[in-house]
Amino acid sequence: MRTQPARREPMLFLVIGLPAAAVVAGIATLVLALGGEGNAGDARVRRVAQAQTTDLAPDLAAARLALWAQAKVDGNSAVSLRFGGSAPAAAVLQLALRHAADPARDRAARLVRAGEGLYLGRLEAPRAVGAYNAELAPESGGWRLVGRLDPSSATLALAPALER
């Protein structure tokens, strides 16, 4: 009977390789689980039992006021926003851009009225790669417009999340 050296035995790779791969995969899973923010969602959303709840009054208020807006974000992080139809009376608005996958890439801008229905501002940091969920509201609250800024686009349509 002819014997092979241990390093040439295929069963040795199964006996050692499979458990070693399981250990490496377990460590990688542990690193991923401990490294992220466990619950990186909107702080205003509450979880009760298995249901999520949030205050929809600002969305209904925006629908009642028939507000909608178009925003443009240029390569220098400048934001210009123009309301269509009726414009709100607020002198300052807050634009929040929440990254779809990474909360560390969230951006915000303070927009100041520059004319009738026109607001101008600048993002606090350049836009990162990826899609953003946008939210526009006055500093005092009261109403809210939402939209989505795609990675390949510089324009953003904002509308109430709910209809009247």
| Average per-residue pLDDT for the chain | 85
- We find that the CATH architecture of domain 56-158 is Sandwich (2.60)
pLDDT in the model for residue 60: 86
pLDDT in the model for residue 79: 94
Calculate mean pLDDT across residues 81-96.
88
H helical segments located in 7-56? 10-35
**How many CB atoms sit inside 10 A of residue 136's CB?**
27
Which of 28-42, 90-104, 147-161 is least confident?
A: 28-42
**Statement: residue 39 has pLDDT above 60:** no
pLDDT in the model for residue 38: 56
Strand-pair partners of 64 = none
| Nearest-angstrom CA–CA distance, 13 and 17 | 5
Residue 54 has which token pair?
A: 């949030």
Render pLDDT for 105-118 as a digit per residue (tens, 0 to 9).
899 999 999 988 89
Q: Does residue 43 or residue 140 have the better pLDDT?
A: 140
Percent of the chain with pLDDT over 90: 39
DSSP 74-137: -TTSEEEEEEESS----SEEEEEEEESS-GGG-EEEEEEEEETTEEEEEBSSPPPSS-EEEEEE
Which of 46-55, 57-66, 112-121 is least confident?
A: 46-55
Calculate mean pLDDT across residues 127-149.
90
Q: Does residue 156 or residue 44 have the better pLDDT?
A: 156
